[in-house]
Amino acid sequence: MKKNLSLEDFLLDLQDKGFKFEEDAIGFIYFGKRSTEASDQMVKAAIEITLKTQKSFDASFYVSLLETLIEHKIQTRYHALDYVRKIGLLA
C-alpha cells in the first residue's frame, strides 16, 4: 500500500489494479470517513483489510471495521493490521 497517496489517489490506484468500486461503495467509503472522523491513512487501512478479508468491498464490514479501529484508538496501518491479526480476521 502506498502510504503517501491521498484517499482519492489510493482508490484510483486500486481501480487501476482491477478492483472495481460501484458508485455506492465510494459513497460508503466517504460516509465512513466523515462519520468516524478517520484520517485518510485509517480509511485506506480499513479498505485494504476489507478487501483482504472479504475478497471484495463489503460496505457494512468496512464501516464496522473503521468504527472499531477508531474506537480502539488505532492510528496507523501497522497497528490496524496487527489488531485484525490478533482478533483473527487476518492470518
- Find the helix packing angle between 23-36 and 7-16, rounded to 10°: 150
Predicted pLDDT of residue 59: 95
How far is CA 73 from its chain centroid? Answer: 15
Predicted pLDDT of residue 2: 56
Look up cell 466517504; give the residue.
30
Q: What is the block-wise mean pLDDT of the chain (91 residues), using blocks of 10 residues?
A: 82 92 91 96 96 94 97 96 95 82
DSSP state letters, 57-77: --HHHHHHHHHHHHHTT--SH
Predicted pLDDT of residue 3: 64
Domain residue spans in the chain? 41-90
